[in-house]
Amino acid sequence: MGSVVGIDLGTTNSAVAVLGHDGLPTIIHNREGDNTTPSAVLFDDGEVTVGKQAKNAETSLPNSVVRFVKRHMGNPDYRFMPDRTEREYGPEAISSFILRFLVDDASDFLGEEVVDVVITVPAYFGDAERTATRQAGEIAGLNVLQVINEPTAAALSFGLKGTYSGKVLVYDLGGGTFDATLMDISANNFRVLASAGDRNLGGFDFDNELIRLVSDRYRELGGTVDTEDYRQIALIREQAEAAKHRLSTSEKAKVRIGSESVTIVRDEFDRAIADLVTRTRYILEDVMDQAGLSYGDVDKLLLVGGSTRMKIIERSVREWTGLEPDKSIHPDEAVALGAAIVAELRSAAESGKAPAVRATVEDVVAQGLGVAVVSDDGSKMLNSVVVEPNTHVPNRIKASSFATVGATRQIRLQITEGDENGVELQYVKVLGESLLCLDYDLPARAPLNVVFVVNEDSTVEVELHDSANEMLIGQMAVHRNSNLKQVDVVALRKQSREVVVQ
């Protein structure tokens, strides 16, 4: 096995890192000399361009540039059709182009082809999103050794630097997602205590509030904002993003739209995003409640993700927790650096060699997993949680409270994702279902054991056992409704080889 790298596949920006000969992770510069690469893809005249050049083309070719695709991972209905083409691209295919760009630069930097990778995902990503991320890697021609949670990776990059011991709270606000994770670090053992998040809360949403603020001010000056004019919206978004960055260091920022100039003061921006900031507070408090601890039990607070540069974030988190954020990690690079450490650990485990770093990681599943059961009156299907949120992974969890309704040779098993027990299926996500055919009869009320096997990256497989006869009925490969079939992954990988990514 050659060099392995860790990849932070971000909503707005991505990064790649590798473990150096000194045993420390280091960021790999992209071909433009930058530490991070915009997660933007341009489709133009049959060519695919990734990164800064693609992002810069958004204002001139708004219908040919796609950004923020990470927010659509695991969504089977999302398709992007660039201008002047009849071909559609799903989130897995688009993400594969970003991954190829990153890995090509890593290969040039290391002087050898890179195939083996670890990719990070938000802690609150579910099974469908994690599977989609793995599939993106496969389409890119990569061997994805593991998918790991972003806050866990960030804590690794912090904790290994000085063999730190203590409880660490990670507040991770990226471009498109928010996660909060509480972790106990001791003697290079990283054990997640609790994790929660929102996959649709990030810098993108803060930008949207600033765009609304700027658009309203522009209308007051007599200007017109056409939400169907993608070029105008792209221009306003570009200006708003730049203004948000300026407001991280200045009290006000100017946004130019056409011939007009709009000035935004930090205080009014803070008021516009106050509700979004409060949403992160509720999630932070939920994590502490799940862990059964108070902020006074926390030894270190880490702010991760580029969106934590907003002054209101640092000020608010300090007020809520009474903790001073530790500034020893880079908010944009910590996740990729931690992923490089995990890449080394996984590579060593597979090759049988001693790793260059010593660490163990005990992560958790952020969302509950279960099965659909028939209600007592037989009128509806309800959710029955088998794997509770914050169960450590990898793990094998057995539930023995199930039985057949009537005599049967077929069992339909629906796998669910959601924390609420006893609710109707409309309130949870059905990951997929399988129909298992038996070669013998099961009587009515035959007792069954359902076993969930949750892997290191929180993806799940299921076993079904006949508990009366103490025998395995079968291992259930869940046919995930939200993900590509393997034959589609293979076809997209073949098509991807024909595309030059620049």
Q: How far is CA 47 from CA 54, 125, 228, 321, 488, in A?
A: 11, 31, 26, 49, 22
Can you point out the beta strands (E) in 258-405?
260-265, 300-304, 325-326, 360-365, 369-374, 381-387, 391-393, 395-403
How many other C-beta atoms are found inside a 10 Å radius of the C-beta of residue 320?
15
Q: Would you state the structure tokens that stand for residue 164, as one six-digit string?
A: 């730190």
Among residues 104, 127, 172, 363, the one annotated as catalytic is 172
Integer-rounded Cα radius of gyration of the chain: 24
Establish how many alpha carbons lie within 13 A of residue 435's alpha carbon, considering only the half-sphere containing its beta carbon: 3
CA distance 470 to 419: 29
Task: State both tokens at 321.
Answer: 């927790």
Instruction: Supply 217's token pair.
Output: 């001010």
Residue 461 is among the residues annotated as catalytic for this protein? no
Decide if 324 contacts 301 (C-beta within 8 A): yes
Q: Rounded distance, CA 9 to CA 229, Å?
A: 29
Q: Which of the residues 70, 198, 344, 457 is marked catalytic?
A: 70
User: Does the annotation mark 70 as catalytic?
Assistant: yes
Dist CA 461 CA 455 (whole Å): 8
**Is 172 marked active-site?**
yes
- Which amino acid, 64? S
Tell me the angle at which helices 203-220 and 274-291 cross, rounded to the nearest 10 degrees: 160
State which H helix or E strand residue 18 sits in: strand 13-19
- Between CA 143 and CA 500 the distance in angstroms is 20
Please state whether beta strands 460-466 and 447-454 pair in parallel, antiparallel, or not at all (unpaired): antiparallel
**Residue 17 near residue 339 (C-beta atoms within 8 A):** yes
Lateral strand order in the sheet of 471-476:
395-403, 447-454, 460-466, 471-476
Identity at 356, one-letter amino acid code: A
Indicate if 260 belongs to the active site: no
Distances (CA, A) of 208 to 61, 201, 241, 481: 20, 11, 9, 31
Structure tokens that stand for 422 in this block: 């006893």
Token pair 């915009």 in the structure block, residue: 38
C-alpha dist (Å) from residue 205 to 12, 60, 177, 244: 12, 23, 9, 12
3-state helix, strand, coil in the chain (%, to 5): 35, 35, 35
CA 160 distance to own-chain centroid: 23
Q: Are 378 and 333 in contact (CB under 8 A)?
A: no
Active site members: 8, 70, 150, 172
